[in-house]
Amino acid sequence: MSKENAIDLVKKNTETVQSLVKGLTVIKAFNQQRSAMTLSEVASITGFTRAATRRFLLTLVNEGYAKQEGKLFSLTAKVLDLGFAYLSTLDVWHNAKPLMSALVEQLNESCSAAVLDGFDVVYVARVATTKRIMSITLTVGTRLPAFATSMGRVLLADLSPEALTTFLEDCHIEKFTQYTLTNKTDLNSEIAKVKQQGYSMVEQELELGLTSISVPVHNREGKVVAALNVSTHMSQTARQHIFAVILPALQLCARQVERLG
């Protein structure tokens, strides 16, 4: 390591507030499967001592980001403020809402936008129809596994070969339905296909009866910054309708959103 790199590393380490890093680690320990945990469980997941974990949890409770009921701790809705602080900076999606709404009115199908965050896609905008598409409620901030979603594959297709290899090596692959693509070599081939054709269609891999098609949204430099999708129920005519009607309308909407950036 050069002297300059060593100095930069030391500077980075000294400028990092470890207590903040650890506090965020405690927050991220909670998820859908671990919505409420004891102090010991949080300590075990984070690797922190019980004393340190107790201080972080009580600080989160004191600031309103967590609550305590007996021995169980859980996050509160105030945690969403952290995400919405980021989302509120994305003026493009606020301005894109009318375009997405027009698409939803035209197709009578829900439209969503998402960005890549780690191994998940995170919804940054959504306009829904009255139709019930998925068993879970999708809202801004919802996270879904990137590998099994059309928006995720569009975003993964823009990664460098090295970054994609790392993603696939480290990603936890779960079989959601009998149609879920779980072989990592096949996933890599599918993502390469998405990159070439410029869209991704995922049929019943995340949930039975659900088909989703997504296209990329580029910034002015040509970098893919988000994915835009339409989801619909499977039917005998779904595939023909998707390619003849939904995909062209979705691509047009994406181009219109790009001009807002």
Residue 5 has pLDDT above 90, yes or no: no
What's the chain's average pLDDT?
A: 84
Q: What is the largest CA-CA distance in the chain?
A: 65
Mark 181-203 as b/e (b = at least 16 C-beta within 10 Å): beeeeebbebbeebbeeebbbbb
CATH number among 3.30.70.260, 3.20.20.70, 1.10.10.10, 3.90.870.10, domain 3-76: 1.10.10.10
Residue 254 CA to residue 122 CA, distance in Å, equals: 18
Query: What are the start and end residues of each CATH 1.10.10.10 domain in the chain?
Result: 3-76
Say whether pTM exceeds 0.75. no
- What digits encode the pLDDT tens for the residues 19-74? 888 888 999 899 878 889 999 999 999 999 999 999 999 999 998 889 999 999 99
- What digits encode the pLDDT tens for the residues 84-131? 555 544 567 778 889 999 999 999 888 999 888 888 898 888 888 876
CATH superfamily of 90-258: GAF domain (3.30.450.40)
Residue 174 has pLDDT above 50, yes or no: yes
Query: What are the start and end residues of each CATH 3.30.450.40 domain in the chain?
Result: 90-258
C-alpha distances in angstroms, 170 versus 38, 105, 160, 165?
28, 40, 15, 9
C-alpha distances in angstroms, 213 versus 97, 164, 247?
19, 21, 7
